[in-house]
Amino acid sequence: MDPSRLQPHASNPTADNEQDNNNHRITSRRIQRLTLHLNPTSSSNPQLQLLTCAARGKLNVSTPHLSMYMRGKYRDEQQKVYDFFKSRPELQTPVEISKDEHRELCMRQLLSMVREGGIRPFKYVVQEPGRYFAIAEAAGILDVSFGVKLGVQYSLWGGSVLNLGTKKHKDKYFNGIDSVEYPGCFAMTELHHGSNVQGLETVATFDLLTDEFIIDTPHDGAIKWWIGNAAVHGKFATVFAKLMLPTHDTKGVSDMGVHAFIVPIRDMTTHETLPGVEIQDCGHKVGLNGVDNGALRFRSVRIPRNNLLNRFGDVSRDGKYTSSLPTISKRFAATLGELVGGRVGLAYSSVGILKIAVTIAIRYALLRQQFGPPKQAEISILDYQSHQHKLMPMLASTYAFHFATTNLVAKYSEMKKTHDEELVADVHALSAGLKAYVTTYTAKSLSTCREACGGHGYAAVNRFGSLRNDHDIFQTFEGDNTVLLQQVAADLLKQYQKKFQGGTLAVTWNYLRESMSTYMSQPNPVTSRWEGEDHLRDSTFQLDAFRYRTSRLLHSAAMRLQKHTKTLGSFGAWNRCLNHLLTLAESHIESVILETFIKAVKRCPDPSSRAALKLVCDLYAMDRIWNDIGTYRNVDYVAPNKAKAIHKLTEYLSFQVRNVARELVDAFDIPDFVIRAPIGKQTPVEVYTEYRQQIGF
């Protein structure tokens, strides 16, 4: 095929766009002036207090200033991790590695970082979670398997001991977990039950005579499955099982609900599997092969009564059960509530992986040249509108998610300090929503980035394959994304009900208080036609649009649920409205992300960085509105002329962001040795050379 046939038009489409935008700006100003004449009261409308938008020409972005703002207070901690691994090349994960070697390497990476590098994350899990997540993110950026291995040891196994146990457990296990003398597992999932934790069937029966619990796998469906660290390295497991207590007449047992128990699984000296415990390797996986997932069966394994992690429920020597929480479901909620840290960490780490992918794809797109106007030099592939469309909204989303997850970590840290009830509820729903939304987005983007790098994106050395395969499961573990979004929807409906009963709303949902009454009315037919750039780039309009959509979805979901419950019951009604509820949850999370981003833009002290962030934030908002333009059109929130203006502005902003794309990815401040992909390095001159050398040519 003659490649010249693929050449784009000689005229510059982005220049056409600029002309179109100028015309639109002039027209829309006229309409707005006319509107003011026709409707003078609207002058009090805050939407008319228009923001000065970022300059129309190329922005002057100071990467060091922007980077400083983005770094956050734990960047030095991450640098320590990077420096340690840079000094130890033998610990870096090679491109080709077998499953068994990878598992051993990940264990060595963890042990060396902790024991030789002196980087000990465990104490931060509760004391200073922000620092812990920063270390975990850096580990995951080096090798996702290493990040997950670290998370299993400290957040899952260690976190369960600290958060579900009491002082005696901390005293006994802290040092061993910290130094990795006690490598451990978190054994919740079973062969038959993953998402439905309440349905798990492993039992822990209290034996009054010996003062022990007997852990049993009653049938093969209850075998613990997918348990990280179990196949090779784990010595202990936190096992989730139904607590069975003998009844007073000692003829039977009563089920007290799911509790967590520390069960030793391998001998401390010989590393042999302990009597009654059977372990099987879950085998080669689609990704994350540096983590040794295994299956565990228990045949009457006896553990001391003290091994019950007893923060929310305890059993006395004479078999009496005590708890500060009155019901099984309250205890269950409290137990799972303590485990949200894993979700916070996954959301945060997922953004780290997205940053790597976006950096590689954008740097490569700036370097790579294909085609060009007749008889002229070839142009960079990032100058194609289609390429900008693929990568620029993704870059904007990466920034948006960066601020959203940093804010989540701050809230989680505050929650760990104060245990404030409202904050607990807020963090619970927000972590579920952000984990689901961000990891789904990153998983899709990894494929887009691979494709955007053409054939060279397919070379393993350029990392997309391993990043995509390793990250993919982030959508499933620590709560399946579809299940988590339903928790967000359920919470929104609870808040909606509260609002009508005059109760207080959780912090993150506060906007619903004002918005519900405003948004239930019909959209303003005048503002729905406003199409000026100043108006569209006004954060008041943008937030209003996001919240309008969420409020409408919430209101209509509540109405539909009420109607269907009468005939289908609550479970059936929920299922009948499920897609609607998932859209509602996503819409809400998008509103929260935008709100956080707008605040972060306003807070930024350096004017040039603030202007760059404002540009990126506008692109994030316009792209999301455009993606769901059908919804806005259906209810006439946006008239046809405005929809067209939004589309044009999205393309125009993508072009503007393209002009500072290099600076924007440089501001992520990820060292070349961490990026590793030859096509994604900061120094473009040597990229092809290094790439060739990597395959020995």
Q: What is the 3-state secondary structure (H, E, C) of 663-693?
A: HHHHCCCCCHHHHCCHHHCCCHHHHHHHHHH
Tell me how far, at minimum, the Cβ of 436 lies from ligand FAD, in Å.
Answer: 10
Of the candidates 137, 86, 620, the residue with the CA atom closest to the CA atom of residue 353? 137
Helices (H) and strands (E) in the chain, counts: 25, 11
Q: Interacting stretch for ligand FAD, rule CB under 6 A, among 451-459, 473-481, 514-522, 630-638?
A: 473-481
478 is catalytic: yes
State which residue has the least CB distance to ligand FAD.
Answer: 194
Separation of alpha carbons 545 and 110, rounded Å: 46
Query: Residue for token digits 């042999």?
Result: 272
Q: Mask 421-460, x = binds ligand FAD (CB under 6 A)?
A: ----------------------------------------
The enclosing H or E element of 226 equals strand 224-228
Tell me how far, at minimum, the Cβ of 332 lies from ligand FAD, in Å.
Answer: 15
**Which residues 6+ apart lie within 8 Å of 477 measured at CB?**
226, 346
Rule CB under 6 A: choose which of 477, 509, 632, 637 binds ligand FAD. Answer: 477
Q: Mask 594-623, x = binds ligand FAD (CB under 6 A)?
A: ------------------------------
Backbone angles phi, psi at 604, to 5 degrees: -65, 120
Are the beta carbons of 297 and 223 closer than 8 angstroms? yes
Tell me how far, at minimum, the Cβ of 112 lies from ligand FAD, in Å.
Answer: 22
Q: Interacting stretch for ligand FAD, rule CB under 6 A, among 76-84, 168-176, 182-190, 462-470?
A: 182-190
Q: Mask 279-308, x = binds ligand FAD (CB under 6 A)?
A: ------x--x----x---------------
Q: Nearer Cβ to ligand FAD, position 227 or 643?
A: 227
Separation of alpha carbons 655 and 662, rounded Å: 13
Tell me how far, at minimum, the Cβ of 628 lies from ligand FAD, in Å.
Answer: 22
Q: Nearer Cβ to ligand FAD, position 218 or 503?
A: 218
Query: Residue for token digits 């990126």?
Result: 616
Q: Nearer Cβ to ligand FAD, position 117 or 294?
A: 294
Q: Nearer Cβ to ligand FAD, position 577 or 645?
A: 577
Q: Nearer Cβ to ligand FAD, position 257 or 319?
A: 257
Are the beta carbons of 198 and 246 closer than 8 angstroms? no
Q: Nearer Cβ to ligand FAD, position 22 or 195?
A: 195
Separation of alpha carbons 604 and 596, rounded Å: 12
Rule CB under 6 A: choose which of 263, 303, 423, 473 binds ligand FAD. Answer: 473
Query: Residue for token digits 């959508």?
Result: 475
Q: Nearer Cβ to ligand FAD, position 188 or 612?
A: 188
Number of residues that bind ligand FAD (CB under 6 A): 20
Cβ–Cβ contacts within 10 Å for residue 41, how many? 7
**Ramachandran area for residue 377 (φ above 0: left; ψ -120 to 50: alpha; else beta):** beta
Tell me how far, at minimum, the Cβ of 483 lies from ligand FAD, in Å.
Answer: 5
Q: Interacting stretch for ligand FAD, rule CB under 6 A, among 54-62, 348-356, 477-485, 663-671?
A: 477-485
Cβ–Cβ contacts within 10 Å for residue 247, how many? 11
**Which residues 6+ apart lie within 8 Å of 294 measured at CB?**
185, 227, 229, 230, 231, 232, 234, 279, 280, 281, 282
Tell me how far, at minimum, the Cβ of 148 lies from ligand FAD, in Å.
Answer: 8
631 binds ligand FAD (CB under 6 A): no
Tell me how far, at minimum, the Cβ of 180 lies from ligand FAD, in Å.
Answer: 16
Mind giving me the DSSP string for 345-386? HHHHHHHHHHHHHHHHHHHHHHH-B---STTS---BGGGSHH
Q: Nearer Cβ to ligand FAD, position 183 or 194?
A: 194
Rule CB under 6 A: choose which of 128, 480, 636, 690 binds ligand FAD. Answer: 480
Tell me how far, at minimum, the Cβ of 476 lies from ligand FAD, in Å.
Answer: 5
Which residues 186-205 are close enough to bind ligand FAD by CB under 6 A? 186-189, 194-195
Q: Nearer Cβ to ligand FAD, position 253 or 483?
A: 483
Which residues 117-156 are close enough to bind ligand FAD by CB under 6 A? 152, 156
Tell me how far, at minimum, the Cβ of 224 lies from ligand FAD, in Å.
Answer: 7
Structure tokens at 345: 């960490």
Which residues 224-253 are close enough to bind ligand FAD by CB under 6 A? 226-228
Structure tokens at 322: 């005590």
State how beta strands 277-281 and 293-298 pair: antiparallel
Q: Nearer Cβ to ligand FAD, position 325 or 483?
A: 483
Mind giving me the DSSP string for 375-437? TS---BGGGSHHHHHHHHHHHHHHHHHHHHHHHHHHHHHHHHHH--HHHHHHHHHHHHHHHHH
Q: Nearer Cβ to ligand FAD, position 87 or 198?
A: 198
Alpha carbon distances (Å) from 259 to 172, 196, 201, 320, 471: 19, 15, 11, 15, 30
Chain length of the chain: 697
Separation of alpha carbons 133 and 113, rounded Å: 15
Q: Interacting stretch for ligand FAD, rule CB under 6 A, among 411-419, 430-438, 475-483, 649-657?
A: 475-483
Tell me how far, at minimum, the Cβ of 582 lies from ligand FAD, in Å.
Answer: 9
Tell me how far, at minimum, the Cβ of 232 lies from ligand FAD, in Å.
Answer: 13
Q: Nearer Cβ to ligand FAD, position 474 or 626?
A: 474
Tell me how far, at minimum, the Cβ of 679 lies from ligand FAD, in Å.
Answer: 28
Q: What is the 3-state secondary structure (H, E, C) of 24-86?
A: HHHHHHHHHHHHHHHCHHHHHCHHHCCCCCCCCCCCCCCHHHHHHHHHCCCHHHHHHHHHHHH
Inter-helix orientation angle 75-86/129-142, to 10°: 30
CA angle 572, 576, 577 (to 5 degrees): 120
Catalytic choice (190, 212, 478, 533): 478
Separation of alpha carbons 461 and 177, rounded Å: 34
> Across-strand partners of 236?
184, 264
**Ramachandran area for residue 454 (φ above 0: left; ψ -120 to 50: alpha; else beta):** left
Which residues 482-541 are close enough to bind ligand FAD by CB under 6 A? 482-483
Active site residues: 478
Residue ranges in contact with ligand FAD by CB under 6 A:
152, 156, 186-189, 194-195, 226-228, 285, 288, 293, 473, 476-477, 480, 482-483
